Chain A
Amino acid sequence: MTDKAQPEMMTGAEIVLRALKDQGVKDIFGYPGGAVLPIYDELFQQDELNHILVRHEQGAVHAAEGYARSSGKVGVVMVTSGPGATNTVTGLTDALMDSIPVVVITGQVPTTLIGTDAFQECDTVGITRPATKHNYLVKDVNDIARTIHEAFYVATHGRPGPVVVDIPKDIQFQTGVYVPPEEVKHRTYHPQVKGDPAAIEQALELMANAKRPIFYTGGGVINSGMAAVEALRDLVKATGFPITSTLMGLGAFPASNEQWLGMLGMHGTYEANLAMHGCDVMIAVGARFDDRITGKVDAFAPGSKKIHIDIDPASINKVVHADVGILGDCGHVLQEMLRLWHEKNLSEKVDREALARWWNQIDVWRARDCLAYQKRKDAIMPQYAIERLWALTHEMDPIITTDVGQHQMWTAQYYRFDAPRRLMTSGGLGTMGYGLPAALGAKAANRDKPVICISGDGSIQMNIQELATAIHHDLPVKVFLLNNNYLGMVRQWQELLHGNRFSESYVEAQPDFLALAEAYHWKGMHVTRPDELDDAIREMMAHDGPVFMNVQVVNLANCFPMIPAGQPHNEMLLGEEVKSAEEAGV
């Protein structure tokens, strides 16, 4: 601290690695190429940063997402210019939609060649501008350190998101000044963290007078951190209100708790959706009223007052009018609400009789058992497969990743998450091919925890090449494949909404997944009968290494409940096994 006059000089490539180390980075997911060779050369000559070589740049970003979401740290990616950069676009958009902090360093052709259509040149900042929270092209070696520190700041502050830093190759070779993180302060970006006290008072007033309240929480609670999760759990318990959550919010509140209603939305539970529809006060926390949640907007929770807590000013009043909007970090706001709830003794003020009537109503809805499905002895029902997976693995506290489609919704419905940062899934963008690389990223951040990727036969083939990464970097994850030979969710929509015409949703010429797994040096398993399933799951978990388990499930199962097109929450399609209103004693 004595001699600040002597700035540290080093090459641009050295500055990149030093800045990453000073940001606390341990692992980088990436793929080398011409325009990042100077940085890869530096990487070779050090051993503090661990590089994980993926097999496709899209996989690198999903792996970084899985790493970030399972650990709360920033996921870091390094790729080359041109195709390296364009291949990250799906992952960047995925991270943007789901608010995942990721920093992607892309190489660029030398500054003298920019704009000449050079080999592997593309307008990386132009292409990734709408796919990132922010992005930079660094044109001066002396700006590299500041830009990388800013990128980490922007990725993690406010609503988290992906940031790209594009660095031309000549800049990587030049010598410049290193600036440490503590000397970098952002000029413009300072999101509001603390909620407005008057708005919090208003919210508590609404809650204390509610007769049919409900908490509706999202991924923002998990992104905010453990303080937010704990404050939410305490506040829900203190109030005695029911709680539901989005796909992204699963695990923030334990599924094993009595106050938990299950997920809401298009494939949410009957009780969660009807409680949302009938509530008089809704407390939305870190959730953004996505169209899969609201259904028909003008029939969404009619007659309710809505409190909306969010860090993103553009999320409040975007889709649904908030009667009380609280801009701020939900951790701070929930802690403040909890403190005032106790201080003002608001539990005394709550209309206990009305709340008891509300719970009675909810119990009647629950009695219909909306997740009931046909039990079969001759074939494996996909719901059964997930139920058994949960039963046999939840005590190991695994991290679950999914791809996109029916298996994803069944996971949300039947795998009961009791802790945050245990489910990684592509919620906003719905990216098939997310699950396997995300599992590898989660494993890299949590080597002591089992990691299971629940996938489908369509999705798994969208990033199948990452099977090699698992072996190369000793990331022994499990793939639990629900194979029904269809793009199941597409087929379900075609059955229900397009006259049963299965246009291009039957997957002919499936690979032999067992042979495929073995070709990549994985242990392959194949299960077709329900009575084999338990032993197979035990064997999969006990095996010391990656396992690819192909579970042949019935072809034509549908995912219910389902809110069909243009319908409000109280117009759900239910499965055939669900009890009728009479049977449930409604």
Chain B
Amino acid sequence: MNKPATGIPPASAYFITPEKEREELHTLAVVVDNEPGVLARIIGLFSARGYNIEQLTVSETEHERGISRITIVCRGTPHTLNQIRAQLSRLVPVHSVADLTLMGDPIERELALVKVVGEGEKRVEALRLADAFRARVVDAHTGSFVFEITGKSRKVDQFIELMKPLGLIEVVRTGIAAISRGPKPLRAD
């Protein structure tokens, strides 16, 4: 009957336009009331609206006021990222939402615990590399180490990559904590 526009099934009731903008990776700081279900609300928003979460870190930051800070690394076009901020900001228990990437180059750090099992030369090499990366030994046995490494995600990636041939058997990462540079604090309210 009617000629459909490109990319749209002929009998669709909906009008889908392909995304033209490029996707970017942004780090958001979300300050929330630490009430039950608040994390489910945030994650539910991302899954319900089809947004991508790359990393998520949550912890209470002000115990007396019952406030938590959530750091989210998410991927999307500038338009989608705008929507994510607006959608987060209208959730009832959310105090504030800041796009740290838009505010400048934020400081981002992540911690990993890395278990390496090996003997002889490999063990020495692991210890030497750990020293070069300023990773600390937090547990040592005759046949294994657990290293604690902190830094940018890329540095952590590199360290883990180097440990693989040296007997890496287990990794756990926290996801990043991020903060803006300079004297200004993030508005808490």
Residues of chain A whose beta carbon lies under 8 Å from any beta carbon of chain B? 125-126, 129-130, 133-135, 137, 154, 158-159, 187-189, 191, 291, 294-298, 312-314, 316-318, 493, 496-498, 564-567, 571, 573
Asked whether, in the complex, the Cβ of B92 is within 8 Å of the Cβ of A188, the reply is yes
Interface residues in B73-96 (C-beta closer than 8 Å to A)? 79, 82-83, 86-87, 89-90, 92-95
Asked whether, in the complex, the Cβ of A189 is within 8 Å of the Cβ of B37, the reply is no
Residues of chain B whose beta carbon lies under 8 Å from any beta carbon of chain A? 1-2, 4-5, 8-15, 17, 32-33, 36-37, 40-41, 44, 48, 79, 82-83, 86-87, 89-90, 92-95
Asked whether, in the complex, the Cβ of A497 is within 8 Å of the Cβ of B1, the reply is yes
Report B50 CB to chain A, min CB distance, Å.
13
- Interfacial chain B residues near A571, Cβ < 8 Å: 2
- Distance of A189 Cα from B95 Cα, bound (Å): 8
Asked whether, in the complex, the Cβ of B79 is within 8 Å of the Cβ of A565, the reply is no
Q: Given known contacts A125-B37, A188-B93, is B8 in contact with A317 (CB within 8 Å)?
A: no
Asked whether, in the complex, the Cβ of B33 is within 8 Å of the Cβ of A317, the reply is no
Asked whether, in the complex, the Cβ of A296 is within 8 Å of the Cβ of B2, the reply is no
B87 (CB) vs chain A CBs: closest residue: A314
Asked whether, in the complex, the Cβ of B15 is within 8 Å of the Cβ of A296, the reply is yes
Which of B37, B79, B86 contacts A129, CB < 8 Å? Answer: B37
Q: Given known contacts A314-B86, A497-B10, what 10 new A-B pairs fall within 8 Å (CB)?
A: A158-B90, A188-B93, A291-B14, A313-B89, A317-B86, A565-B2, A566-B4, A566-B8, A566-B12, A566-B15
- Distance of A301 Cα from B68 Cα, bound (Å): 43
Asked whether, in the complex, the Cβ of B92 is within 8 Å of the Cβ of A154, the reply is yes
- Distance of A565 Cα from B36 Cα, bound (Å): 43
Asked whether, in the complex, the Cβ of A291 is within 8 Å of the Cβ of B44, the reply is no
- Interfacial chain A residues near B13, Cβ < 8 Å: 493, 565
- Distance of A375 Cα from B103 Cα, bound (Å): 64
- Distance of A344 Cα from B90 Cα, bound (Å): 35
Q: Given known contacts A314-B86, A497-B1, is B92 in contact with A189 (CB within 8 Å)?
A: yes
Asked whether, in the complex, the Cβ of B90 is within 8 Å of the Cβ of A129, the reply is no
Asked whether, in the complex, the Cβ of A567 is within 8 Å of the Cβ of B90, the reply is no
- Distance of A129 Cα from B39 Cα, bound (Å): 12
- Interfacial chain A residues near B44, Cβ < 8 Å: 129-130
- Interfacial chain A residues near B8, Cβ < 8 Å: 565-566
Could you list some 30 contacts between A and B, CB below 8 A?
A125-B37, A126-B40, A129-B37, A129-B41, A130-B48, A137-B36, A154-B92, A188-B32, A188-B33, A188-B92, A188-B94, A188-B95, A291-B15, A296-B17, A313-B86, A314-B87, A317-B82, A318-B83, A318-B86, A496-B1, A497-B11, A498-B11, A565-B4, A565-B8, A565-B10, A566-B8, A566-B12, A566-B15, A567-B5, A573-B2
- Distance of A134 Cα from B32 Cα, bound (Å): 14
- Distance of A497 Cα from B92 Cα, bound (Å): 42
B83 (CB) vs chain A CBs: closest residue: A318
Which of B2, B17, B32, B41 contacts A298, CB < 8 Å? Answer: B17
Q: Given known contacts A133-B92, A565-B2, A566-B5, is B83 in contact with A317 (CB within 8 Å)?
A: yes
- Distance of A318 Cα from B86 Cα, bound (Å): 9
Report A208 CB to chain B, min CB distance, Å.
29
Which of B5, B9, B33, B82 contacts A187, CB < 8 Å? Answer: B33
- Distance of A418 Cα from B156 Cα, bound (Å): 66
| Most chain A beta-carbon neighbours within 10 Å: one of B2, B8, B15, B86 | B15
- Distance of A302 Cα from B11 Cα, bound (Å): 24
Report B38 CB to chain A, min CB distance, Å.
10
- Distance of A134 Cα from B40 Cα, bound (Å): 12
Asked whether, in the complex, the Cβ of A564 is within 8 Å of the Cβ of B92, the reply is no
- Interfacial chain A residues near B15, Cβ < 8 Å: 291, 294-297, 565-566
Closest 6 CB pairs of A and B: A314-B86, A497-B11, A566-B8, A134-B92, A566-B5, A313-B86
Report A231 CB to chain B, min CB distance, Å.
24
- Interfacial chain A residues near B14, Cβ < 8 Å: 291
- Distance of A566 Cα from B17 Cα, bound (Å): 10
Report A144 CB to chain B, min CB distance, Å.
15
Report A151 CB to chain B, min CB distance, Å.
10
- Distance of A258 Cα from B44 Cα, bound (Å): 46
Report A279 CB to chain B, min CB distance, Å.
19
- Interfacial chain A residues near B94, Cβ < 8 Å: 188
Report A292 CB to chain B, min CB distance, Å.
9
Report A164 CB to chain B, min CB distance, Å.
12
Which of B10, B17, B33, B89 contacts A297, CB < 8 Å? Answer: B17
Asked whether, in the complex, the Cβ of B86 is within 8 Å of the Cβ of A316, the reply is yes
- Distance of A313 Cα from B32 Cα, bound (Å): 18
Q: Given known contacts A291-B15, A296-B17, A298-B17, is B5 in contact with A314 (CB within 8 Å)?
A: no
- Interfacial chain B residues near A135, Cβ < 8 Å: 37
- Distance of A189 Cα from B35 Cα, bound (Å): 14
Report B149 CB to chain A, min CB distance, Å.
36
